[in-house]
Chain A
Amino acid sequence: MRNALRSEVRKVLTTRMWWLLGILLFGYLAFLGGVMAFSLTHDPASMTGGLATITVLDGKTVARTVYTLAVSLGYVFPLIIGALSMTGEFRHETITPTLLAEPRRGLVLGAKLMVASALGIVYGVIGTAAAVLGGLPFLLANDGAYLGDGGVQTDLVFSVLAMAIWCVIGVGLGTLLPNQIASVVVILAFTQFVEPILRIGLVAIDPLVGAQKFLPGAAAEALAGSSLYSSTGMLGLLDRGPGALVLLAYAAAFALLGRYVTLRRDIS
């Protein structure tokens, strides 16, 4: 396993992808952090498009919402990075030398999952820090940053953790869908379109109310402890513990499916 881990770490660090996406993630979330902090401190109702009636959020809720933006809106980055670690192998046919070096396919996948969890923490820190830094000027000008608050600090830690699990989910998803273009399209479509619509749409269907809490994005926000959707009063979330379990269940399910569907096949 040590060899496989070293190999995977080297694969990540020897192309430009990891730091290019890191910079992009930082810029994106610093921008979002600023925009959201500004909006929520000035006109929170504008955030919901009239779906929920809220007047003014208290300063701490605003801070928590802004600080966990990485999980609400930036999780596509670790998800894609995770997926690329496997789809890239198929796209460039490096899966051949990879499996020649380590024929135990489950072990190769295991190493990728472990490296992804570490890499996900790095992206979690980058994304969370960017959201904090972007929002800070507006929060300080309003009701304070609440960075010394224990609850807020817990949110920050779990926000990083949720990003790490997203990266792990990405590896599983990429294994299940080794076609890189298909994988990226599915990720973009699901995260930017399908899940947001389902989360709002399921609320409107009586027998399915509550199901939206089990969608992966919602579970990740539950783990982080706060969300743009919930704090603006649109949707409810699971508690942190169940949220973590749901998110981990997605990670395990994709990884297992990938192992026994894609990685059982002939490599030719």
Chain B
Amino acid sequence: MTSGATLEISGLTKSFGAVRAVDGLDMVVRPGVVTAFLGPNGAGKTTTFRMLLGLVAPDSGTALIGGRRYAELPHPTTVVGAALESSSFQPGRSARDHLRAYAPFAGADDRRCDEVLAQVGLAESARRRVGGFSMGMRQRLALATALLGDPHVLVLDEPANGLDPEGIVWLRTFLRHLAHDRGCTVLVSSHVLGEVQASVDDVVVIARGRLVHESSLEDLVALSTPRVRVASPERPGFVELAGRHGWEAEADGNELLFSGATPAEVGAAAHRAGLEIHGLAEEGGSLEDVFLRLTAQLEDDRVQEGSS
């Protein structure tokens, strides 16, 4: 069993002109689990990755892999496997030759190249030129490149982008296997939250280059507020009922969603008010809402800071 390294980011800051892309970011990513790195577009995820990997120089702060900067790792691709874009290929080169171009650094021979191609499901396209590849195939090839040196740390930027549903399930299973069975450190960025719910253990949320949340997935889910879904022909009556009890009501098609109440409370109140109910169900709060709330909070802080 191999063991991954801990990623430690502290005080990391980077501005591009007037834009502060990453702003005093602190976070720790531990081995043996899959960690999601979440944030809206432009939150600073990719810049953070690029600083972690030595491609972009931070203005201040550090990003360390097992206590060392990326550039200080002797054979970095045997320690860290990274896939940053799905477009980093010379279109005239075959998938296999792309891997062969980077194989010497990873200590990989031609057999290893074929092995990782098979692993990501590209064995049959190995000798095709990458120019004709679909987005999903490019994602797989980027992942194959990352795996070439059999690294214990994987850093993947939006790896599920462009993958078909089957591919997403495969990726999920594969990453969990690497983390849970082999002890690898797996950090995966995403802005599609549904993707994350099913596949990760830990969650780091950033917005505007700052950390807004860092916890296990369970703790993040616990932050979400459950809602009650009501189907009824008497919508005005229910809206009024919600007002009286201080529940938040929201229309969803022909149905209403209440937050701040349990199904029992809504049912009892409707019964007392003599309102007709066709359907009553509890819904788990969506991670999406938590995420929006967390990232919006930061925006509010910003506004206050700006005005004070």
List chain A positions with a Cβ less than 8 A from chain B: 2-4, 6-7, 10-11, 14-17, 88, 92-94, 96-104, 266-268
Residues of B within 8 A of A2 (CB): 104
A-B contact number at CB 8 A: 80
Is A92 a contact partner of B106 (Cβ separation < 8 A)? no
Is A100 a contact partner of B100 (Cβ separation < 8 A)? no
In the complex, 6 of the A-B residue pairs with CB atoms within 8 angstroms, ordered by the A residue number, are: A4-B105, A14-B93, A14-B98, A93-B87, A100-B80, A100-B82
Contact status of A103 and B54, CB under 8 A, knowing A14-B93, A14-B97, A14-B100: yes
Alpha-carbon separation in the docked complex, A94 to B89 (Å): 6
The B88-115 residues at the A interface (CB cut-off 8 A) are 88-94, 97-98, 100-106
Alpha-carbon separation in the docked complex, A266 to B59 (Å): 11
- In the complex, how many angstroms separate the beta carbon of A153 from the nearest chain B beta carbon? 38
Interface size on B, residues (CB 8 A): 34
Instruction: Fill in one digit per residue for B19-57: 1 if any A CB lies within 8 Å of its CB, else 0.
Output: 000000000000000000000000000110010011111
Residues of A within 8 A of B88 (CB): 92-94, 96-97
- Is B206 part of the binding interface, using a Cβ–Cβ cutoff of 8 Å? no
List chain B positions with a Cβ less than 8 A from chain A: 46-47, 50, 53-57, 70-71, 76-77, 80, 82, 84-85, 87-94, 97-98, 100-106, 145
Residues of B within 8 A of A15 (CB): 90, 92-93
Q: State the main secondary structure of chain A at its contact with B.
A: helix
Contact status of A7 and B105, CB under 8 A, knowing A266-B50, A268-B55: yes
Residues of B within 8 A of A92 (CB): 87-91
Is A10 a contact partner of B55 (Cβ separation < 8 A)? no
Is B91 a contact partner of A100 (Cβ separation < 8 A)? no
- In the complex, how many angstroms separate the beta carbon of B243 from the nearest chain A beta carbon? 51
Contact status of A97 and B102, CB under 8 A, knowing A10-B97, A17-B92: yes
- B87 to A, closest residue via Cβ: A93
Alpha-carbon separation in the docked complex, A92 to B97 (Å): 15
